[in-house]
Each structure stands twice: as structure tokens, then as C-alpha cells.
Chain A
Amino acid sequence: MQMRPFLRLARPRLRLAAAALLLALGGRRAGAQYTVTQVQPLAFGYLTQGVTEVVPYTDTFRRGQVRITGSGNAYVRLLMPTVLTSASGATIPLQFLTGDVAAVPSGGTAQPFDPAASTRVNLSKGAGSLLIGGRAAPGVGQAAGLYTATMTVMVSSTKI
């Protein structure tokens, strides 16, 4: 089958365009680097069986805190665990409601947001922070011991 003249001409251009696009994407990644460091973990402390423990984001000792450095605006999304888990596999349900977490833009004040949605943090004046509270609800017969969970902080230059 004979190739149409237009495509025959376009093939080298297509390769060039693809290469240019990859370079452009690479450049975009390099320009959107953020650093997130854990200042302190979210610590519910000692829990009593059957008593829900609430850590507000204003609790300076127990709240989780991360520091975000970068430039411009950062879009932040949190992927929250649903349970704390012990070494033996026992679990404690967790809840993160609107107002349990807050974002602090550089040079600004804490702004609570819905942890199920993303939020924008302005980093133009320096580092920003996330303040993370939450609720842990141990059962009446909750087994004693240490429980842990991991949450994920996603940071992007574009809305996520």
C-alpha cells in the first residue's frame, strides 16, 4: 500500500514533536519539586476502651504536622487510613472530618479543610504546613497495646 504524501512528510515531524513534548514534561517535573518533612506524628496517646479520642488540629502536642517547602502554590491531598492496627492485627477505627485538618500557608493562619478533598497551600513566602488532627474510636473490649497507621500526603503543582 502506498503511503499518503502528507503522512510521509509528517513522520519526521512527529518524532520531533514527541521528543519536544517529552523534554517539556521533564522540565515541568523538575520545576515542581516539593519537600515534605514530618515535624511530628499524629499521636492519639493513651486510649481507654470504649472512649473516642479526638485530637484537634490546634493541639500542639498531639496533632500531626508536616512542613512543605517549594515554590508558588502547592495542591495538597491527604490519603487517610481508616484504622490504626496493632502488631497482632487488632484495629481501631479512625475518622477525619472537615475541620480536623488545616493548611497553613507561608506567613498565614491555619485554614481548616475537608480532608477528603484537596486544598491549595501558598508557598510563595516560604514553607507551609499541614496540621492533622483526627478521631480514634477504640471498642469496649479493645485489646491493649500499641497501634499505628500511615497516612499519605500528596503534593502537586496542579490540582489533584
Chain B
Amino acid sequence: MRPPPFVPLLMSLALLGSTGAGAQNYSLNAHATVTSSVSVAQVASLGFGSAAIVPGTAITVSAANGGKARVDFNEPTVVTVPAFLLLAGPFGSQVRVDLACAQATTASASAPTLFSSGCAGGFTPPLGGHVGGSHYIYIGGALSSAASSAAPAGSFTGSFSVTASYVVY
């Protein structure tokens, strides 16, 4: 005699019930912090050349031919440079040099891209695909005719900082 049709159905239901009856889910957290790794290194100095500057004439060094710094980073990092610096010369004299900043992904760009907001406005090298990398900052300078006309003869030097600002993890 064939079993009534509802018996296999009941058996199936009972089986399903016994395997899934007590399963309960809970959540557990995991976390980590990847440490910041940002550094700035000088690649080349900004120089106006070996030829003497004639008083009363302006002289400009383009960013592509000026100083250069390399920035290594693994998070969004704002790189800034002062808008100008004062070069110190003989007898306590000073001359002002206005800086122009540009950036590129390579160390030998012939036409690096100028900072849109000037040196002091900074530039943030982008993370590519959530991965850090390296970027190059190019710094040029301009000495005005007025500044050079008042300067005594001699050698003038100065220094400035390339600053990378970031959140420390």
C-alpha cells in the first residue's frame, strides 16, 4: 500500500526544522591602523646660475629648471612652499625672491603643472587607486629689477622648507 502523500511532506518539514532550528548569528569586529608614511627629500637646489646678476635687471628661473623635492606618501598630504624667501647677502643685506611652484609625477618633467593656488596654497598629490606613491615638486624663483638694483655686490643665499602636512596615524 502506498503511503499517504502528506507523510513525506511532514518528514521533510521535520528534517528542515531540526537542522536550522537553533542557529543564531552574532557579529564581531576586527580593526587595524596603517601607519602614516610621508617623507620629503631634496632632489635639487634652486639656483640663479653662476653668472652675476646685473643690478637693476630682473631674473627668473622657471619651476622646471629650479629646485626640486620628492614627496613619498601613503595618504592625502598637502605640500606647501613659502610664497617668497629672503636671500641674505653682504653687510646684512637681503633680497626678496618670489617662488613659483609646480608638480609632476616624474623627476624630469619639462613642463610641470603649476600649483593652482600658488606655493603657499599647496598641492595635494593624489592617491592612485587607494595606493600611495611619489610625487615631485618643482620650485622656481623670480628676482625683481627693483630688488636687484638695491642689492650690494656679493653672494646671496637662503633656504626655505617644503612642508608636507598630513593626519598622523
Contacts and interface: CB of A to CB of B under 8 A. Distances in A.
A144 B169 contact: yes
Chain B: number of interface residues, binned into ranges? 35 or more
B119 to A, nearest CB: 25
Contact of A152 (B21, B28, B37, B74): B28
A18 B19 CA distance: 18
Interface stretch (B56-64, B124-132, B137-145, B153-161): B124-132
Interface in B1-52: 4, 6, 10, 13-14, 17-37
A18 B14 CA distance: 10
Given A47-B35, A149-B29, A154 B24 contact: yes
A156 B21 CA distance: 8
Contacts of A47: 32-35
Contacts of A150: 27-30
Interface residues of A, number: 62
Interface of B: 4, 6, 10, 13-14, 17-37, 74-75, 127, 130-133, 166-167, 169
A132 B30 CA distance: 10
Interface in A3-51: 6-7, 10, 14, 17-18, 21, 24-25, 28-29, 31-34, 36, 38, 41-49
